[in-house]
Amino acid sequence: MWWDERVSARFRRNLQPTLTYWSVFFSFGLCIAFLGPTLLDLRCQTQSSLSQITWVFFSQQFCLLLGSCLGGVFKRTLAQSLFALFASSLAISLVFAIIPLCHNVVVLAVVMAVAGLAMGCIDTISNMQLVKIYQKDSAVFLQALHFFVGFGALLSPLIADPFLSDTNCILSNSTANTSSNLPHIRKSLVPHHPGNLSHYDLPMKGMVVTRVSYAFWIMALINLPVPIAVFFLLYKERMVPCFNSSSHPLLSADELAMETRPTEKDDLSTAAQRAQAAGGHDDLFSCCQSKNFRGASYTYFAVHITGALVLFMTDGIVGEYSGFVYSYAVEEPLSVVHKVAGYLPSLFWAFITLGRLISIPISYRMKPATMVFINVVGVLITFLLLLIFSYSVVFLFVGTASLGLFLSSTFPSMLAYTEDILQYRGCATTVLVTGAGIGEMVLQLLVGSIIHDRGSYSFLVCGMIFGGLAFTFYAFLLFFHRMYPKPSADLDDASPDKPAITDDTGQYQR
């Protein structure tokens, strides 16, 4: 194997939980990308206007952010984390099954809000649990985790595509006038910005002929093995109520004896210290309690804030670029034909997925800090070249692919780097996931408003500014890393700056 035997052995010992967390993140990806292409058919199903249906985007994104904040609540025990993942992944399958039954836009928004809460919990808990298991070796496993997001995000539009309406899915007297514009309308729909499509008169009343229900039922079935896998892990760990008579760790007795035996390099791995190390990740509200601030240096807060700001910018770029690159391409000066421009968002997500796959072996050989530096510099240079060659359609496609590659590994690398700075004792996972979620929602709304007022060229200018800010915040993070207190035995136990005595055995902690 391309990694060393120690990491390989740790992976084999934690194979089942690792695969389970990866599969749950596939559910996350499956749920995050289906809404865009199916939104017009859902508009027909609910017989709502374009402006009304785009609120469904907001309900999902807002509750995803709320779920990310609340996800850390379930981290206190492994049982709570797994039950939350089981409920969340099962909720996603139920959401897919229920969506075809929603014939009112408000009901649909509520159902998508439930999906958003489930996705937020999955995002926080899966990242947090992998960091707990692998700690300083977590970078490669986080890269693999986020590959499954991209894989799910690529798969769901492919499933939906055969069932999307080629003509207006509400039959009325005005249907013929708008049918030829449906592909353009579908690719131009983004959260809260249907204003540039207001001149299209889509019928709201008539016979609904959409077949998109089949796509949702197929996705519900594809996702169903995920909650089953989480339930099997709960059963294996004897956490299902009817099987909780005895504790049964994933490691056998012989392996457990070998793993907990003190070594020359790890003579401090006592049970109490491992418990202390496991307590370093809280939900966002627990992180904000004053008791967690006692004895903390300013660099402790600075690392959390600058790390979250980097992801605020980079994940915000992902949201705004995938949302508006089509609209930018079809406007002057490029004036790309609608069918060709429609490949740009797919190309962007395809290279994000490819980049995450490539980053799995690279992250084992390269430090997370180096990968994040390459990513933010690459994003900045790509936007600069896109501005210089703004009249080139060919370079727009090249730049879209390049941007997807550079953005692909930013989140997992940033998470691994920040957690390593804090010695797995801070609230980095929850704060970074929340920061990324806020950025993806806020920057998309901001860029949409700017494009509406200033024109399509501002799309690239905004990306350049966000890329420059991401680089600046990362430079500050490097500075605060140098200032952050090094591990010291005489630090006060109550201080958040006290380094965790990590369990380097790879044991799956309960």
Task: Evaluate if residue 114 carries a pLDDT over 60.
Answer: yes
**Local structure of residue 486 (DSSP, 8 states):** P
- Alpha-carbon distance of 408 to 323, in angstroms, equals 16
Contacts of 424 (CB under 8 A, 6+ apart): 131, 132, 135, 277, 280, 281, 500, 502
Average pLDDT over the chain reads 79
Q: Which residue has the higher pLDDT, 268 or 50?
A: 50
Nearest to 193 by CA among 333, 313, 36, 24: 36
What is the average per-residue pLDDT within 181-199?
A: 55
Instruction: Give residue 265's pLDDT.
Output: 40
What's the one-letter identity of residue 304?
A: H
Q: What b/e readout covers 333-368, taking b as 16+ CB neighbours within 10 angstroms?
A: eeebebeebbbbbbbbbbbbbbbbbbbbebbbeeeb
State residue 283's pLDDT score: 55
Q: What is the pLDDT of residue 453?
A: 80
* pLDDT of 495: 47
Q: How open is the CA angle 433-141-135, to the nearest 5 degrees?
A: 75
CA distance 41 to 183: 12
Token code pair at residue 35: 């809404």
377 pLDDT tier (thresholds 50, 70, 90): very high
Can you give the pLDDT at residue 206? 57
Extended strands (E) in 400-452: none
The token duo for 348 is 């962007």
- For the segment 272-301, the average pLDDT, to the nearest whole number, is 56
What tokens were used for 504? 């380097």
CA 86 vs CA 24, 32, 64, 96, 458: distances in Å: 9, 18, 17, 16, 43
Q: Tell me: pLDDT of 2 over 50.
A: yes
| Residue whose structure tokens are 């959401």 | 95
**pLDDT (0 to 100) of residue 188:** 58
Cβ neighbours of 483 (radius 10 Å): 11
Most confident by average pLDDT, 38-42, 145-149, 165-169, 396-400: 396-400
Does residue 301 surpass a pLDDT of 60? yes
pLDDT band at residue 44 under the 50/70/90 scheme = confident
pLDDT score, position 262: 44
> Per mean pLDDT, which range of 12-26, 112-126, 333-347 is the poorest?
333-347
Q: Return the minimum-mean-pLDDT range out of 13-17, 207-211, 427-431, 441-445.
A: 207-211
Distance CA 117, CA 109 (A): 12
* More reliable by pLDDT, 153 or 400: 400
Please give the share of the chain, as a percent, with pLDDT higher than 90.
29
Residue 21 has pLDDT above 60, yes or no: yes
What gap in Å lies between CA 74 and CA 50, rounded to an integer? 37
List CB contacts of 172: < 8 A, sequence separation 6 or more. Answer: 203, 205, 206, 207
Of residues 270 and 182, more confidence is placed in: 182
Q: Which of 52-56, 334-338, 472-476 has the highest mean pLDDT?
A: 472-476
Query: In this predicted structure, what is the pLDDT of residue 372?
Result: 95
DSSP letter for each residue of 117-156: HHHHHHHHHHHHHHHHHHGGGHHHHHHHHHHHHHHHHHHH
Average pLDDT on 434-451 reads: 86
- pLDDT tens-digit readout, 330-340: 888 888 887 78
pLDDT the model gives residue 180: 55
Q: What are phi and psi of 164, to 5 degrees?
A: -75, 150
Domains of the chain (ranges; CATH) run 13-171+206-240 (1.20.1250.20), 296-486 (1.20.1250.20)
More confident residue, 395 or 494: 395
Q: How many CB atoms are closer than 10 A to CB 487?
A: 11
pLDDT in tens, 62-76: 898 888 888 777 766
Report in angstroms the alpha-carbon separations of 340 from 29, 166, 186: 25, 17, 14
Q: Which residues pair with 207 in a beta bridge?
A: 171
* 265-272: long-range pairs with CB below 8 Å, 24+: 265/504, 266/504, 266/505, 268/501, 269/501, 269/503, 269/504, 269/505
Q: ω into residue 333 within 30 of 0, thus cis?
A: yes
**pLDDT, position 221:** 95
* % residues pLDDT > 70 (the chain): 75
Q: What is the pLDDT of residue 297?
A: 76
Nearest to 176 by CA among 135, 220, 140, 206: 206
Position 467, amino acid:
G
CB 89 within 8 A of CB 118: yes
Q: What does the DSSP 8-state code read for residue 245?
A: S
Q: What is the pLDDT of residue 383?
A: 95
Name the band, by pLDDT with cuts 50, 70 and 90, for residue 22. Answer: very high
**pLDDT at site 185:** 60
Handedness of CA 39, 44, 50, 55 (dihedral sign): negative
Condensed to tens digits (0 to 9), the pLDDT of residues 171-188 reads: 665 544 455 566 656 565
d(CA 66, CA 147): 23
Residue 256: predicted pLDDT: 40
Least-confidence region, from 1-5, 102-106, 415-419: 1-5
| Res 363 pLDDT > 60 | yes
Q: Is residue 131 predicted with pLDDT exceeding 50?
A: yes
pLDDT at 489: 45
For the question of whether the overall pTM of this predicted structure is more than 0.85, the answer is: no
User: Which string of DSSP letters, residue by residue, matches 160-172?
Assistant: HGGGS-SS-SEES
Phi, psi at residue 491, to the nearest 5°? -70, 145
Task: Indicate whether 196 pLDDT > 70.
Answer: no
pLDDT in the model for residue 470: 96
Average pLDDT over residues 279-306: 66
Q: Which residue has the tokens 């060709």?
A: 340
Residue 169 has what pLDDT?
64
pLDDT of residue 413: 93
Question: How far apart (Å, rounded) are the C-alpha atoms in residues 281 and 370?
Answer: 25
